[in-house]
Amino acid sequence: MSQKRIAKEFGDLQKTPLDGIKIILPNEADMLQWQITMEGPKGSAYEGGNFVLSLSLPKEYPFKPPTLSFKTKIYHPNVTNDDKGSMCLGLLRPDEWKPSSKIDTVLEFARGLLVDPQPDDAVEQGIAREYRENRKEFLKTAKAWVKQYAKK
Amino acid sequence: MAAQNVDTFVIGFSDPAIPNPDPIRSRVNVSQAFDLSINNVVTLSTNTANGNDDIAGLLYVPTLSPTDPCANASKQYVPNNVTRLENLPPTQYQYKYTAFAPWFSAECTKSYLAAIVPPNIITSFIFYQPSSNTDASPPGPSDPTWGLQDGGSWKKNNPFPVYAIPGSNGAFFMQQLAQYSGNTSQAPNSDLLSKEFSPSDYIRVFSTFTTASGTSLPTLWAFLLIVLGVVLVLVAITSFAMHFIQRRARRDLQRRLQNGEVPLEWLGIKAPRMTQEDVDALPLGPYIPNENKPTLPLNDNSESTTAPASPQKGSTAQQKDGTIQPPPSAATSPQDYNQPTCPICLEDYIPHSTRVRSLPCHHIYHPDCIDRYLLRTSSLCPICKTKVVPPSHGIGRVALPRINNTMVRRERYARRLAQRTDQPSGGGNGYGEPQSLVPFSGSGGFRRWVRRVPGVGFVGTALLAREPNPSTAATAGEGPQRRQQPTESQIEMGAIGSSSRPNQRPFAGTAAAADNAAPSSPNGAAAEQNNAAAPVPDAPPPADAESRREWARRRASALLGRHPGPNDNDDSAAVADQITAAEPDEARRPGWRKAVGKAFPGFR
């Protein structure tokens, strides 16, 4: 069942792509690993950047949530600042995940998070504090990181 | 083979060269000769060319070549008439020999070793250091005095074991070897010996070694084995006792679980799975499309508030909160809503043909999709997370998990946590009492505790709801007053109150409560639920956007009784989550701890 649903969701996303989001399968045979290229939303600190994300779906999908991680380094309170780049998305927590949620929702949330970081749900407390207290400095660093790591 | 002990004595035997020799060898009586057992034997080399043969033989001193300076140097230690190889029966008669020599210099020791030709004629070589005249143990095998300036290779190159005995014993043997080298008449006590032996008989010194590889275990080992055995028995008894205790604890928990005394959350089970029987009992029917009807509300508040969202999403969530109605009453049916697609496989239903399973919350699914989920994953509706088994069903009807030791431990821990709350709550220790509500809305120790571990809030709610009592309504009536200051406590109150709402029921905590309340007075319970639900809309969101989001997040997480995030230290962690956090991850436990845990259940 999971294969069928994943194929359907993938097909839908290819047919009607989300704004600024490109999806490819790095390995044609493996439907469970998606590679996503997300443009930094206009007006956000990440504008002009191209972020590569990896979405991995569990075998039990849709009963278990997928995991989303940034492959491109990003200065963001909700993304771990390590080589994993795990993204903290409430939607993706095992006990909050609903099988009726779809991947396009997940991706839209991720993009929404770029527009509007959630310092209260932060995984990087230092960045969150900066975001709250010194927005100017935050924007400067975030933009510098975009230039350094996420140039097109 | 390391030697433990060497026994040296005098034997007499017939000359094998004479016709019809008497093959009997006899040990000469101690009173007529000597018999010396030495324990202070040091094994210098264990190279045994003769394999498992006994290490025993007639003692003799190898003869050095007269041109060797050592022959002269050894004269002070070796008497002239000492037993030589030629004083023993010739090698063709296959007697065993043991060489014996003083170790006074490395050069001369080499000469002595080289004098054994061929090397396999002896069963062992015994050295003594004439410089030492005590019967204390000689230096250990690695002592430099045993070095021959060849890095120890002499030990390998000589195909016989080499032993060392104390110096005074060696000197004594040398003296004896001088006395027992000729025929009977030259030996001490020859008059007595001549009665027993014929003049042609050999009377010689004989050594025999007891080696460590013997069958009798040394006493130290025996002692250690006994200690080990005792320890093993103790370990077995302890293990057995712990298994027994744990088994009793499991049975006890199973019984209490069946009686509904223990919320499943305490065992770390947030959503128990359903039985096949219960799944089969859910209504199944053809899909009837009804496009004019509204889409069933999804109660999506958790998603849009706890999950990060764009600003407009956040605000719609607020509106949604306001508009969420209590679940459809008994009059509605799945056909009253437009649900054209199965949310699990995302396939559209074929009108009037596809058979769909509808859950009590009126969400419909393909039976193939939902049944497996209900049986194996969770008994909560995948869309709205409403418990599928009706609460009145009672906990006994849910497929009870097999109780394991982890569950026993969790339950004990949760019970302790819950008991701890009894003490600081002051007057409010009797949950059944209406007074117990006071610390709830006030700022007593209990409330503080609720803030810390709000999961217990559910327990509290469960116990409160057990009393279909007007005082519950009275609490809800406090709503308007509290509206003046929308504090955390108010939010919590709202959350706790609303957790009794049937559509948002966090599963386990309230199950027992509703179980009790529902059969006794369904109307009363319903009224109570409505009343309890009242504070939710009563608590308005704070004005500014930042704290409003925070407010919504708190509220939603309180409603759902979930931990909002790993870094979140605030109130919404449920007991179950706290226990889960305290529990070491089974997969990360090292193997030895798992093994110890198997042997001693209850060991952590």
Q: Is the pLDDT of residue B284 over 50?
A: yes
Q: Tell me which residue range forms the domain holding A136.
A: 2-149
Which pLDDT score, from 0 to 100, does residue B230 have? Answer: 96
Distance from the Cα of B328 to chain A's closest Cα (Å) equals 20
Looking at the predicted complex, does its ipTM rise above 0.85?
Answer: no
- B549 vs A contacts (CB less than 8 Å): 120
Closest residue on chain A to B299 (Cα): A98
Instruction: Find residues 23-42 of chain A whose CB sits inside 8 Å of chain B.
Output: none
Q: How would residue B566 be classed by pLDDT, with cut points 50, 70 and 90? A: very low
Q: Do B303 and A101 touch (CB under 8 A)?
A: yes
Lowest mean pLDDT among A69-83, B25-39, B93-107, B528-542: B528-542
Cα B155 from chain centre: 46
Please name the helix (run of DSSP H) or strand (run of DSSP E) that holds residue B228, with its range, or none. helix B219-258
Tokens read off for B271: 């959503």
Q: What is the pLDDT of residue B540?
A: 53
Domains contained in chain A, number: 1
Interface test with A, best of B384, B385, B567, B577 (most A CBs within 10 A): B567
Question: Looking at the partner chain, which of B383, B553, B565 has a beta carbon nearest the beta carbon of A100?
Answer: B383
Cross-chain Cβ contact A91/B307 below 8 Å: yes
Q: What percent of chain B has pLDDT over 70?
A: 56
Count other C-beta atoms under 10 Å from residue B365's C-beta: 26
| HSE-CB of B410 using CA atoms within 13 angstroms | 23
Strand partners, B387: B380
Q: Do B568 and A121 touch (CB under 8 A)?
A: yes
* Residue of B312, B346, B347, B370 to mutate when probing chain A, most A C-beta within 10 A: B346
Decide: residue B462, CB within 10 A, 0-12 exposed, 13-18 middle, 19+ buried. buried
| Per-residue pLDDT, B449 | 41
CA distance B574 to B506: 11
Q: Which residue has the higher pLDDT, B221 or B435?
A: B221
Asked if pLDDT for residue B428 goes beyond 80, the answer is no
Q: Which pLDDT does position B523 carry in this prediction?
A: 42
> Can you tell me the distance from the alpha carbon of B181 to that of B187, in angstroms, rounded to the nearest whole number?
8
The residue among B377 and B349 whose pLDDT is bigger is B349
Measured between CB atoms, which of A95, A112, A117 is closest to B313?
Answer: A112
Residue B104 Cα to chain centre, angstroms: 58
**Amino acid in position B488:** E
Instruction: Compute the distance between CA of residue B216 and CA of residue B210 in angstroms, rounded to an integer.
Output: 11
Q: Do A5 and B345 touch (CB under 8 A)?
A: yes
Q: Does any CB of chain B come closer than 8 Å to the CB of residue A94?
A: no
Per DSSP, helices labelled H in A62-102 are: none
Low-confidence winner among A60-69, B328-337, B589-598 (lowest mean pLDDT): B328-337
CB-based contact B50:B120 (threshold 8 Å): yes
Contact B227, B221 (CB under 8 A): no
Q: Name all contacts of B516-523 with Cβ < 8 Å and 24+ positions apart.
A: B516/B465, B516/B466, B517/B465, B517/B466, B517/B468, B518/B391, B518/B392, B519/B392, B520/B468, B521/B468
The CATH number of the domain holding residue A120 is: 3.10.110.10
Residues 550-569 of B with CB under 8 A from A: 550, 553, 560, 562-568
Chain A CB within 8 Å of residue B297 CB: no
Of B46-50, B73-77, B331-335, B582-586, give the lowest mean pLDDT range: B582-586
CB B326 within 8 A of CB A82: no
The β-bridge partners of B60 are: B99
Mean pLDDT of A34-53: 87
> Sign of torsion, CA A21 A27 A28 A32?
negative
Q: Residue range B492-498: average pLDDT?
A: 40
Most confident of A94-103, B129-138, B181-190: B129-138
Write down the mean pLDDT value for chain B. 68
